């Protein structure tokens, strides 16, 4: 991709099927094989990639001397467009949740003629109040026990700016500093992502290397507001209102509260909004998974 970056991508399903690009969350979470379950393999050409610095893409954000200057929203948008052209795809469906929904909106607004439909889940748009809710104390009203663990590594005088305080530690060269910070950041970010606790999921994501990758990239993007103007992704939605879209949102999503999906839907009333009454944030929650599969099945019928 240039800039010393190599991006891993793969395809599955029907080579002659409807193209869809799956945009993972995080930033920094990496793609997963089980994301394919949301598509009929006989009707879809499923394309997945690990965004810069994560998964099997190199260099990893977990490397000791990581340089993230070439890892921004707009680098990722350019990567997607280059991949689309190299694969000879005229238009593709965008399927993304959480950060993946933000990236889908950024890409679609920059390249509307390259998009057939959008399927968005747990909408997150990097507005300042969304990030403050997550990392500056808002969500503590629901998860005070987890919040207490999150702030514990940070001295009291630094707790008014948690993203900046964690940034200093996550990018410290000493593993004795950045590894515990990454585990604490990742535990907070993932433990509240499901309606009911899934400690095995949290445990798998808080192993040192994946935690450092996830925490560094997420913190890097949030510190820079995603290289977006405040409210940009919703404000510029007129560029894509002609595109078919489905928005799937858990009613009790703490990571990406429903207000953001609602604000997007108000600006884009043509997009179908499904609020799942017994779900939080994860795509794997039963009600969300059913709604996502229903949307992709419906869009599979269109040319």
Q: Is the pLDDT reported for residue 121 higher than 80?
A: yes
Query: 75, 111, 178, 281: which is the annotated catalytic residue?
Result: 281
274 - beta bridge partners?
248
The predicted structure's pLDDT at residue 61: 96
CB 169 within 8 A of CB 178: yes
Is 205 in the same domain as 266?
no
Indicate whether this model's pTM tops 0.95.
yes
- Judge if 135 and 121 occupy the same domain: no
pLDDT class of 205 with cuts at 50, 70, 90: confident
- Which of 31, 194, 253, 265 is the catalytic position? 253
What 3-state DSSP class applies to 206?
Answer: coil
Q: What is the pLDDT of residues 49-62, one digit of tens each?
A: 999 999 999 999 99
On whether residue 164 sits in a domain, the answer given is yes
Give the 3-state DSSP-derived string for 94-153, with helices as H, strands as E and coil as C. EEEECHHHHHHHHHHHHCHHHEEEEEEECCCCCCHHHHHHHHCCHHHHCCHHHHHHHHCC
Sequence-ordered list of residues with C-beta below 8 angstroms from that of 199, at least 6 positions apart, any chain:
none
Is 278 an annotated catalytic residue?
no
Let me know whether 29 and 162 are in one domain: no
pLDDT in tens, 14-30: 999 999 999 999 999 99
16-20, 26-30, 225-229, 234-238: least confidently modelled range: 26-30
Query: How many domains, in total, are found in the chain?
Result: 2
- Here the CATH number for the domain that contains residue 264 is 3.40.50.1820
pLDDT at 197: 83
So what's the pLDDT on residue 302? 78
Share of the chain above pLDDT 90, in %: 92
Residue 64 banded pLDDT, cuts 50, 70, 90: confident
From the list 98, 114, 189, 193, the catalytic residue is 98
For residue 180, which phi and psi values (nearest 5 degrees)?
-60, -35
Domain of residue 171, residue span: 129-226
**pLDDT confidence tier of residue 145, bands split at 50, 70 and 90:** very high
Mean pLDDT of all residues in 85-98:
98
pLDDT, residue 303, reads 62
Contacts of 156 (CB under 8 A, 6+ apart): none
C-alpha dihedral (30, 221, 198, 283), degrees to nearest 10: -60
DSSP state of 276: E
Boundary-marking domain end, from 226, 242, 277: 226
70 is known as an active-site residue: no
Domain termination residue (choose one: 191, 226, 261): 226
- 31 in a structural domain: yes
Helix (H) or strand (E) holding 215: helix 208-223
- 18 and 115, same domain (yes or no): yes
Q: What is the mean pLDDT of residues 125-132?
A: 96
- Write down which residue in 192, 208, 226 finishes a domain: 226
What sign does the CA torsion over 288, 291, 296, 299 have?
negative
Residue that wins the pLDDT comparison between 194 and 215: 215
- Rounded mean pLDDT of 259-273? 98
Is 253 in the active site?
Answer: yes
Mean pLDDT of the chain: 96
Q: Give helix 208-223 / helix 162-170 axis angle, nearest 10°.
A: 130
In contact, 41 and 88? CB cutoff 8 Å: no
* Token pair in block for residue 193: 């992502």
């Amino acid at each position: 991709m240039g800039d010393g970056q190599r991006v891993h991508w793969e395809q599955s399903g029907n080579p002659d099927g409807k193209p869809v690009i799956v945009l993972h969350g995080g930033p920094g979470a990496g793609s997963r094989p089980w994301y394919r379950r949301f598509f009929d393999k006989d009707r879809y050409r499923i394309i997945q990639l690990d965004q810069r610095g994560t998964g099997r893409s190199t260099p990893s954000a977990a490397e000791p001397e990581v340089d993230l200057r070439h890892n921004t929203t707009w680098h990722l948008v350019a990567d997607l467009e280059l991949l689309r052209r190299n694969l000879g795809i005229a238009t593709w469906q965008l399927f993304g949740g959480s950060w993946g929904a933000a990236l889908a909106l950024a890409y679609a607004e920059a390249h509307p003629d390259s998009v057939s439909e959008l399927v968005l889940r747990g909408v997150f748009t990097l507005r300042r109040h969304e990030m403050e809710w997550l990392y500056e104390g808002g969500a503590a009203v629901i998860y005070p026990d987890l919040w207490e663990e999150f702030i514990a590594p940070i001295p009291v005088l630094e707790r008014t700016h948690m993203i900046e305080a964690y940034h200093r530690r996550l990018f410290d060269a000493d593993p004795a500093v950045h590894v515990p910070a990454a585990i604490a950041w990742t535990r907070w970010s993932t433990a509240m992502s499901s309606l009911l606790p899934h400690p095995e999921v949290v445990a798998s994501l808080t192993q040192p290397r994946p935690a450092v990758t996830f925490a560094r990239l997420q913190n890097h993007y949030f510190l820079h507001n995603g290289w977006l103007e405040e409210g940009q992704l919703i404000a510029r939605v007129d560029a894509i209102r002609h595109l078919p879209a489905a928005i799937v949102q858990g009613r009790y999503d703490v990571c990406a509260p429903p207000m953001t999906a609602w604000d997007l839907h108000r600006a884009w009333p043509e997009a179908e909004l499904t609020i799942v009454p017994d779900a939080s944030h994860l795509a794997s929650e039963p009600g969300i998974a059913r709604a996502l599969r229903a949307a992709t099945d419906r869009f599979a019928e269109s040319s």
